[in-house]
Amino acid sequence: MTSPRGAISLSTPFRPAWWLSNPHLSTMWGKFFRAPPPVETQVERWDTPDGDRLDIVRTEGTPHDAHAPTFLLLHGLEGSMRSHYTAGTLHAAQQQGWQSNLLLFRTCNGKLNDAPRTYHSGETADLDCVVDRLLADRPLAPLIVAGVSLGANVLLKWLGEQGDAARARVTAATAVSAPFDLALSSAHLDRGFSRLYVWNFLASLKAKALAKIAQYPGLADPERVKAADTLWAFDDAFTAVVHGFVDAADYYYRSSSIRYLHQIRVPTLLLSARDDPFHPPHILDEVARLAAMNPHLHLEFTRRGGHVGFVEGVTPARAEYYMERRIVDFGAAQLDRRAALRPMEAPASPG
């Protein structure tokens, strides 16, 4: 395992569940067998600069301490509050005393949004808008952000775009199972058993795309969308067309977070498994090479874990989820580090 560089680790090391013998089982366990912890939430709808609206899931009970951290989670492709990791992560952050939030990307609230667009792996304007609102709502609170899968790519791209400006906005970030190179991930998912994930995604993505085309006739070619049998074909027929890219290759190139890693200036944990079935293992070697030149990036590349899996526990009945604990521990460690580095305020002069 590649250890986090320069960070205080509060977690015990990841111990993969012995009873999940391959990466696909690790990936699918939470979706099919996990009972997520109960979390009291409310949904707020926030206006966007382009006249649309975003749904933000917020845990009930804002901390009384105005300095208590704010936490924001970004979900993966076609994720929602029903995703197996969202309630667990919000619960872990809430238990830490943080005010916790989940950004639902457009169309991921179960409704068709109003604007002639949806969401994609490189769309960062909505994240920027939500960060501004969270900071305005709780100006004394440090902000900690985590992204999962597609949400991890969005987060890393946004942090890179922000560069030095992010230091004043975000204290710590964690990217879990980021695809890093979207073209490589798309091609990798078209092989072998991983095709099952593609079929599952396409069923939902194509239904939404056709509904959006019906809402805005002429937005894209519905026949091309219907015929898409790979993520690349879908993104070429819909995502690229609707969001202003030349084609899928252009979308993947301009949106891949690996191009932005060198610009990140906020302590950021990259948590990925080498057996992740969503991307080829060698991409993590390239990420490690780039991260070696950026002291703000902390790597934790485990040998096992699958995609957004990281399941632990001596038996299935006692399963635990390392990802959620690690997100909170990394954020807490960076808060402690920032407090330790903050210069002592000079005492006021008498009289």
pLDDT band at 64 (very low <50, low <70, confident <90, very high): confident
pLDDT at 271: 98
Q: Cα–Cα distance between 201 and 185 in angstroms, integer?
A: 14
Considering the candidates 276, 279, 296, 298, report the single residue annotated as catalytic: 276
CA atoms within 13 A on the CB side of 98: 25
Cβ atoms of 302 and 3 within 8 Å: the answer is: no
Higher-scoring residue by pLDDT: 60, 58: 58
Tens of pLDDT, residue by residue over 100-141, are 999 999 999 999 999 999 999 999 999 999 999 999 999 999
pLDDT at 36: 87
Considering the candidates 83, 236, 307, 329, report the single residue annotated as catalytic: 307
Examine the pLDDT at 349 and tell me if it is beyond 70: no
> Environment class of residue 244 by beta-carbon count within 10 Å: exposed (0-12), middle (13-18) or buried (19+)?
exposed
pLDDT band at 351 (very low <50, low <70, confident <90, very high): very low
Residue 251, token pair as written in the block:
């979308």
Q: How many CB atoms lie within 10 A of CB 249?
A: 16
Q: How many CB atoms lie within 10 A of CB 3?
A: 12
Examine the pLDDT at 345 and tell me if it is beyond 50: no
Considering the candidates 83, 100, 121, 149, report the single residue annotated as catalytic: 149
Cβ atoms of 46 and 65 within 8 Å: the answer is: no
Examine the pLDDT at 240 and tell me if it is beyond 90: yes
Q: What angle do CA 102, 31, 286 make, to 5 degrees?
A: 75
Q: Is 307 a catalytic residue?
A: yes
Examine the pLDDT at 4 and tell me if it is beyond 60: no
Tens of pLDDT, residue by residue over 243-289, are 999 999 999 999 999 999 999 999 999 999 999 999 999 999 999 99
pLDDT band at 12 (very low <50, low <70, confident <90, very high): confident
Tens of pLDDT, residue by residue over 283-326, are 999 999 999 999 999 999 999 999 999 999 999 999 999 999 99
Q: Cα–Cα distance between 340 and 162 in angstroms, integer?
A: 25
Tens of pLDDT, residue by residue over 179-237, are 999 999 999 999 999 999 999 999 999 999 999 999 999 999 999 999 999 999 999 99
Examine the pLDDT at 7 and tell me if it is beyond 60: no
Cβ atoms of 282 and 184 within 8 Å: the answer is: no
Cβ atoms of 87 and 36 within 8 Å: the answer is: yes
pLDDT at 11: 61
Examine the pLDDT at 77 and tell me if it is beyond 80: yes
pLDDT band at 350 (very low <50, low <70, confident <90, very high): very low
pLDDT band at 341 (very low <50, low <70, confident <90, very high): confident
Q: Is 149 a catalytic residue?
A: yes
Q: For the chain, which domains are there?
A: 23-180+259-338 (3.40.50.1820), 182-255 (no CATH)
Q: How many CB atoms lie within 10 A of CB 28?
A: 18
